[in-house]
């Protein structure tokens, strides 16, 4: 298929290979449909031929009278064979010419031994099926097979006309010739156009799906996959949100700013990327959604965009798993003679406003509210005391005891900046999660 003629952008080799397989399967299905229809027509035609022979005893002794029966039987056998072959092989060009051969086999005896009712191939009913065969070829979605079918059917009608001329049968008037020529041209163009249009629509659909998938993947690089799917599923992106209970995890490196100031920008970016590569898979494994990166800090939400009954438990387990993943990452850093990284995490469970925050020109699908602020403050408490983890009493109460997670130690009521009431805080040290 010439893509420049279709006006389509070439697909990548992998996508084109998939599309070619789809076209191949569609071509097989179309060929199977045509073959089954041909078998039905052959069965009806054979019945009609036997009825005709039964009504004319004198015809049964004439060889030409049995030619249509022979042609129909052979055509039926070839069709059955092609149906079996289609299970393992693609259709062949000969299948597009089979219909023309069948029609010729039925119509030719009448032209070779015309009776009083025969007035030429143009007026013989079977000749109309040459046009039907060409039209049916468009169903195959192959312009090559359409052209093979048109050529075979035109050749057969010309052969019948030649026999008419030799046998002295009426070959039709000029206006009939013009009408038939116009009919063959029109039907051939319609079938060719149908095949072309079908392939073009299929290719356009494949490109649309590929573009949508690329968009989703590209969007999923900048935001989490869950958020990307949520954004793409919305009919209209408008600012606004709704209340939802979530667990918020905020993680930040201890003492990293002073260390980072000593690094060249390229190395700083490389180290941050390696650090995040170690943590993000663990976050996703526990069902967390990375809301944002703020330098070396990571904000994670459990229960976004859809509610999560065990959000608090997942967040607590993820926090411990992140510390252990960082320990493994520090082993790799040691081989590169890089100092170990220390991570402090704050976790809180509470109600937030979830949705599109911002304005019409620039929005972010995120969470805002006191729960977010408290998780950030808890991380600050852990960082100030050199601890691995600080969680609110709400998280401990809801999550309870978790397998593989050390029991947090009660630090006590802590006054958090910006809050009038003290917050019950539980903590884990680096040794606890090591």
Chain segment 50-90, per-residue pLDDT in tens: 887 788 787 777 888 888 888 888 888 988 888 888 777 77
User: Could you tell me if 15 and 50 lie in one domain?
Assistant: yes
340 alpha-carbon distance from chain centroid:
44
Using CA atoms, how far apart are residues 279 and 281, in angstroms rounded to an integer?
6
Is residue 423, in this structure, part of any structural domain at all?
yes
For the CA atoms of 184, 190, 195, 210, the dihedral, rounded to the nearest 10 degrees, stands at 160
Confidence band of 13 (pLDDT split at 50, 70, 90) = low
User: Could you tell me if 398 and 355 lie in one domain?
Assistant: yes
User: Could you tell me if 328 and 380 lie in one domain?
Assistant: yes
The strand pairing partners of 247, in sequence order, are 302, 349
Is residue 181, in this structure, part of any structural domain at all?
yes
User: For position 2, what pLDDT does the model report?
Assistant: 41
User: Could you tell me if 279 and 370 lie in one domain?
Assistant: yes
User: Could you tell me if 275 and 370 lie in one domain?
Assistant: yes
User: Could you tell me if 109 and 59 lie in one domain?
Assistant: yes
Question: Looking at residue 339, what DSSP letter applies?
Answer: P
pTM above 0.75, yes or no: no
Q: How many domains does the chain have?
A: 2
Is residue 223, in this structure, part of any structural domain at all?
no
CB atoms within 10 A of CB 34: 23
User: Could you tell me if 171 and 301 lie in one domain?
Assistant: no
Is residue 233, in this structure, part of any structural domain at all?
no
Domain of 14 in residue numbering reads as: 3-216
Which CATH number fits the domain that encloses residue 395? 3.30.70.1230
Among 184, 216, 248, the domain-final residue is 216
Using CA atoms, how far apart are residues 372 and 227, in angstroms rounded to an integer?
18
User: For position 4, what pLDDT does the model report?
Assistant: 34
Chain segment 387-421, per-residue pLDDT in tens: 999 999 999 888 887 777 888 889 888 888 777 78
User: For position 14, what pLDDT does the model report?
Assistant: 63
User: Could you tell me if 202 and 97 lie in one domain?
Assistant: yes
User: Could you tell me if 207 and 247 lie in one domain?
Assistant: no
Q: Are 351 and 263 in contact (CB under 8 A)?
A: no
């Amino acid at each position: 298929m010439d893509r420049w003629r279709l006006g389509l952008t070439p697909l990548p080799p992998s996508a084109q290979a998939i599309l070619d397989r789809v076209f191949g399967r569609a071509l097989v299905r179309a060929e199977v449909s045509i073959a089954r229809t041909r078998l039905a027509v052959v069965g009806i035609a054979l019945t009609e031929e036997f009825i005709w022979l039964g009504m004319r005893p004198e015809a049964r002794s004439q060889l030409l009278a049995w030619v249509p029966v022979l042609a129909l039987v052979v055509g039926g056998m070839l069709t059955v064979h092609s149906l079996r072959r289609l299970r393992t092989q693609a259709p062949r060009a000969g299948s597009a010419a089979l219909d023309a051969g069948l029609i010729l086999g039925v119509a030719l005896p009448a032209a070779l031994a015309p009776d009083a009712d025969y007035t030429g191939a143009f007026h013989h009913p079977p000749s109309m099926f040459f046009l039907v065969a060409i039209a049916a070829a468009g169903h195959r979605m192959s312009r090559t097979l359409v052209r093979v079918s048109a050529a075979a059917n035109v050749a057969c009608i010309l052969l019948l006309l030649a026999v008419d001329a030799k046998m002295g049968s009426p070959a039709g008037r000029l206006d009939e010739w013009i009408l038939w020529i116009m009919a063959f041209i029109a039907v051939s163009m319609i079938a060719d156009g149908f095949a072309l249009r079908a392939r073009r629509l299929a290719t356009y659909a494949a490109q649309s799906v590929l573009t949508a998938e690329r968009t989703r993947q590209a969007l999923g690089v900048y935001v989490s996959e869950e958020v990307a799917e949520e954004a793409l599923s919305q009919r209209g992106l408008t600012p606004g949100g709704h209340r939802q209970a979530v667990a918020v995890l905020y993680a930040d490196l201890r003492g990293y700013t002073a260390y980072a100031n000593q690094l060249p920008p390229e190395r700083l970016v490389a180290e941050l990327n390696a650090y995040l590569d170690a943590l993000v898979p663990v976050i996703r494994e526990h069902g967390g959604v990375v809301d944002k990166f703020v330098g070396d800090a990571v904000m994670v939400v459990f229960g976004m965009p859809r509610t999560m009954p065990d959000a608090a438990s997942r967040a607590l387990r993820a926090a411990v798993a992140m510390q252990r993943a960082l320990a493994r990452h520090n082993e790799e850093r040691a081989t590169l003679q890089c100092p170990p990284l220390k991570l402090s995490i704050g976790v809180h469970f509470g109600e937030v406003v979830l949705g599109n925050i911002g304005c019409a020109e620039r929005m972010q699908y995120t969470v805002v509210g006191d729960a977010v602020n408290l998780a950030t403050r808890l991380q600050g408490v852990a960082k100030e005391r050199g601890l691995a983890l600080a969680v609110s009493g709400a998280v401990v109460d809801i999550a309870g005891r978790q397998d593989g997670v050390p029991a947090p130690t009660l630090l006590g009521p802590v006054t958090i900046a910006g809050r009038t009431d003290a917050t019950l805080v539980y903590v884990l040290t680096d040794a606890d999660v090591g």
